Amino acid sequence: MSADALCVGVCMIDWDSGVCLGCGRTADEINGVPIPPPPADERGAAAPAPLPPNVAAQVGEGSD
């Protein structure tokens, strides 16, 4: 999935939190500034990325 697939066409940065109100990405993520990959867990699998705070507030963090 490309990063553009996260875009919902509503670009409005909340400068207090630093994330887009439409997709929940930071300005650096939207502009393509590379971010380091998440650390691997003890099985060697990549840890899942956390939800952006605005999305987690709406849908919850989920369960394992």
Per-residue model confidence as pLDDT tens for the chain (64 residues): 455 566 777 778 888 888 888 888 888 888 877 767 766 666 666 666 777 888 878 777 665 5
Q: Residue 26: how many CB atoms within 10 A of its CB?
A: 15
Amino acid at 55: V
| Cα distance between residue 18 and residue 21, in whole Å | 9
For residue 7, give its domain range.
1-64
Amino acid at 56: A
Its pTM stands at: 0.42
| Cα distance between residue 57 and residue 51, in whole Å | 9
Total tally of structural domains belonging to the chain: 1
Give me the helices (H) in 1-64, please: 27-30, 53-59
